[in-house]
C-alpha cells in the first residue's frame, strides 16, 4: 500500500456524515451501543467508510460486550496502521486506515485467541460490504461441500 488517499477537509465533509467525519477525521469516539455494527452478525468485509479499503472480516468479529464492534485481527496487517495515543491521560494504541489515515479506534491486548488482540472500532468508521469476493467464495464453497 504505497499511494495514500489524500483529500481536503472540505472534501471529507462533503463525502461523510457529520458523525463519520467527527470519528474518522477528528479522532472522535462514538458513544457505546449507538453504532450500527456493534451487534451486527452479518457476513462480510468491513471496509473503511472513507476510502473503501478492506479492514476487518466478520469471521474475526467477536462480542466484546463493550458496545463497539470488536475484532481479533485485521483483514490484512498492511491495511491498518497503529500509533501510540497518549490523549485522555492514558497510553493507548490508536488504529488507523493505512490508506487514508482515518481514525478507526484502538487496539488492546485483552482479546481472544488466536491473536489475543482486541481491535475496538467505531461503527462510524466502517461500512459492511457483503459482496466482496472472498465472502461470496466462502458461501460457494460451503454449498459445494454439502
Stretch that binds Fe ion, among 13-21, 50-58, 84-92, 118-126 (CB under 5 A): 50-58
- Residue among 100 and 120 whose Cβ is closer to Fe ion: 100
Q: Answer for the pair 117, 109: CB distance below 8 angstroms, yes or no.
A: yes
Query: Which window, 47-55, 58-66, 74-82, 109-117, contacts Fe ion (CB under 5 A)?
Result: 47-55
Per rule CB under 5 A, is residue 50 in the interface with Fe ion?
Answer: yes
* Ordered DSSP codes for 17-48: -HHHHHHHHH---PPTT-SSSTT----SEEEE
Q: How far is the CB of 53 from Fe ion (least distance, A)?
A: 5
Using CA atoms, how far residue 19 sits from 27, 29, 40, in Å, is 11, 9, 19
| Rounded Cα distance, 15 and 32, in Å | 24
Cβ of residue 32: shortest distance to Fe ion, in angstroms? Answer: 23
Taking alpha carbons only, the member of 6, 3, 23 closest to residue 127 is 23
Task: Indicate the residue among 53 and 64 with the shorter CB distance to Fe ion.
Answer: 53
Phi-psi map region of 80: left, alpha, beta (phi>0 left; psi -120 to 50 alpha): beta
Q: Could you confirm whether 120 is annotated as catalytic?
A: yes
As a whole number of angstroms, the distance between CA 46 and CA 129 comes to 6
How far apart CA 30 and CA 64 sit, in angstroms, is: 16
Smallest distance, Å, CB 1 to Fe ion? Answer: 10
**Residue 25 sits in the site that holds Fe ion (CB under 5 A):** no
Q: Which is nearer to Fe ion, 3 or 144 (CB)?
A: 3
Looking at residues 85 to 124 of the shown chain, list those that interact with Fe ion (rule: CB under 5 A): 97, 99-100, 102
Binding stretches for Fe ion (CB under 5 A):
48, 50-51, 53, 97, 99-100, 102
- Catalytic residue ranges: 120
Amino acid at each position: 500500500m504505497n499511494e495514500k488517499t489524500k483529500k481536503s477537509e472540505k472534501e471529507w465533509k462533503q463525502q461523510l456524515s457529520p458523525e463519520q467525519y467527527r470519528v474518522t477525521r477528528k479522532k472522535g469516539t462514538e458513544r457505546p451501543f449507538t453504532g450500527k455494527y456493534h451487534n451486527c452478525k452479518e457476513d462480510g468485509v468491513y471496509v473503511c467508510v472513507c476510502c473503501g479499503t478492506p479492514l476487518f472480516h466478520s469471521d474475526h468479529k467477536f462480542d466484546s460486550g463493550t458496545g463497539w464492534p470488536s475484532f481479533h485481527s485485521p483483514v490484512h496487517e498492511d491495511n491498518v496502521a497503529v500509533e501510540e495515543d497518549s490523549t485522555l491521560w492514558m497510553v493507548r494504541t490508536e488504529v488507523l486506515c493505512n490508506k487514508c489515515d482515518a481514525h478507526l479506534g484502538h487496539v488492546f491486548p485483552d482479546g481472544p485467541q488466536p491473536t489475543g488482540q482486541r481491535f475496538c472500532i467505531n461503527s462510524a468508521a466502517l461500512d459492511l460490504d457483503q459482496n466482496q469476493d472472498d465472502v461470496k467464495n466462502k458461501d460457494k464453497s460451503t454449498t459445494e461441500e454439502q
